[in-house]
């Protein structure tokens, strides 16, 4: 039987609650099909308070040998600044392993009530994860004076733009064959015009995929008014950040928002994590919704090549929500939602 080596970082707060539920679902899904050897790492804000670092110096090298990384959530702003937890763990992993594609599926599951009751809300958002508006290039001059100027420069490289769009085209091919490229090329005449050019060049290689070009402002409206016209959505770091928060809200909230940080070239492990944070207000109370984490497990299985088991996990999540389990905050405990998904898997 095939064995996958999984690095598990539960992290802080509800990261611990939802990963333990998600790992039980993973075990149930794997049974009789493949084995999962899980190694847990206690890297978290609690670890930081004890050791002064979020992970040991050889943390990245330790993770490199695994088939995949599963992360709950890191952050505990009451004792550790977010900049420390982010820059001490999450960002170094994404960078070291070149996880340049951030994939977030947004779908309204059966039974779940989003604010819009959006019919046919089923899109796959792909956010560029390494450059663009979050490149950190810029500075401030004449600090504190009336003439102060702050400049923040976006950096778009041909390599970066081409690879994220190519990944989007491949995903579109595997779905409804429609790709929407999100820019603001009417206002940003260098970076976004360049993005449009690369999109057009690649489109010629994928004649079976229909391409739409949308500006970010019109796109925000479209996601609310006519999401059924969308399939795969590819956007830059900033635009993807904003659109996926909107997508999470439409699909019923953070309890349902899954994500994958993918290294499509497979030169290093990819990392799977629910979008939500550590949620200190509900941590350890057995009330966090584990669906986002379980959905991230489904994404991980798909990436590992276990498409059938991935589909089975998704179907089990939806069998649970269709029965009304976990569809509203406070309705069911973490354990009840997990149990319903496991029961559906085993049925």
Structure tokens given for 68? 């995949």
| Active-site residue, selected from the candidate residues 134, 196, 222, 229 | 134
Give 307's Cβ-side CA count (13 Å radius).
1
For residue 241, indicate whether it is catalytic: yes
CB 259, min distance to ligand ATP, A: 12
Return the number of the residue (254 or 271) whose C-beta is nearest ligand ATP: 254
CB 180, min distance to ligand ATP, A: 26
Return the number of the residue (235 or 288) whose C-beta is nearest ligand ATP: 288
CB 293, min distance to ligand ATP, A: 8
Give the end-to-end CA distance of the chain in Å, rounded to a whole number: 23
CB 18, min distance to ligand ATP, A: 6
For residue 67, indicate whether it is catalytic: no
For residue 184, indicate whether it is catalytic: yes
Return the number of the residue (14 or 344) whose C-beta is nearest ligand ATP: 14
> Where do contacts with ligand ATP occur on this chain (CB under 6 A)?
14, 18, 75, 82, 254-255, 276-279, 281-282, 288-289, 292, 329
Q: For 219-231, what is the HEC assignment? A: HHHHHHHCHHHCC
Return the number of the residue (9 or 292) whose C-beta is nearest ligand ATP: 292
- What is the rounded CA–CA span in Å between residue 178 and residue 230? 7
Return the number of the residue (11 or 132) whose C-beta is nearest ligand ATP: 11
CB 290, min distance to ligand ATP, A: 7
- What is the rounded CA–CA span in Å between residue 251 and residue 257? 8
Contact predicate 166/154, CB 8 Å: no
For residue 159, indicate whether it is catalytic: no
| Active-site residue, selected from the candidate residues 184, 206, 231, 302 | 184
| Active-site residue, selected from the candidate residues 189, 190, 217, 265 | 217
| Active-site residue, selected from the candidate residues 67, 196, 229, 245 | 245
Which residue bears the tokens 């997990």?
Answer: 338
Nearest-CB residue for ligand ATP: 277
Active-site residue set:
134, 184, 217, 241, 245
């Amino acid at each position: 039987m095939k064995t996958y080596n999984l690095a598990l970082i539960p992290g802080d707060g509800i990261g611990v609650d939802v990963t333990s539920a998600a790992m039980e679902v993973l075990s149930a899904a794997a049974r009789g099909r493949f084995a999962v050897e899980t190694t847990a790492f206690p890297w978290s804000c609690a670890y930081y308070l004890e050791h002064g670092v979020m992970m040991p110096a050889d943390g990245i090298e330790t993770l490199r040998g695994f088939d995949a990384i599963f992360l709950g959530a890191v952050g505990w702003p009451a004792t550790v600044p977010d900049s420390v937890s982010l820059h001490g763990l999450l960002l170094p992993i994404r960078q070291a392993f070149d996880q340049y594609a951030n994939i977030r599926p947004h779908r309204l599951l059966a039974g779940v009530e989003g604010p819009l009751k959006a019919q046919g809300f089923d899109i796959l958002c792909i956010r560029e994860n390494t450059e663009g508006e979050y490149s950190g290039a810029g500075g401030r001059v004449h600090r504190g004076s009336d003439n102060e100027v702050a400049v923040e420069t976006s950096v778009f490289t041909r390599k970066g733009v081409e690879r994220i769009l190519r990944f989007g085209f491949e995903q579109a091919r595997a779905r409804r064959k429609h790709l929407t490229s999100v820019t603001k090329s009417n206002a940003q005449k260098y970076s976004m015009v360049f993005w449009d050019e690369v999109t057009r060049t690649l489109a010629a290689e994928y004649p079976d995929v229909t391409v739409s070009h949308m500006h970010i402002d019109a796109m925000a409206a479209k996601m609310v008014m006519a999401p059924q016209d969308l399939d795969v959505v590819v956007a830059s770091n900033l635009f993807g950040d904003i659109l996926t928060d909107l997508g999470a809200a439409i699909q019923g909230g953070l309890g349902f928002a899954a994500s994958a940080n993918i290294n499509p070239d497979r030169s290093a492990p990819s990392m799977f994590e629910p979008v939500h944070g550590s949620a200190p207000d509900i941590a350890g109370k057995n009330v966090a919704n584990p669906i986002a984490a379980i959905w991230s497990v489904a994404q991980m299985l798909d990436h590992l090549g276990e498409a059938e088991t991935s589909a089975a996990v998704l179907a089990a999540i939806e069998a649970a929500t269709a029965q009304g389990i976990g569809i509203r905050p406070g309705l069911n405990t973490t354990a009840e939602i997990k149990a319903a998904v496991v029961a559906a898997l085993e049925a």
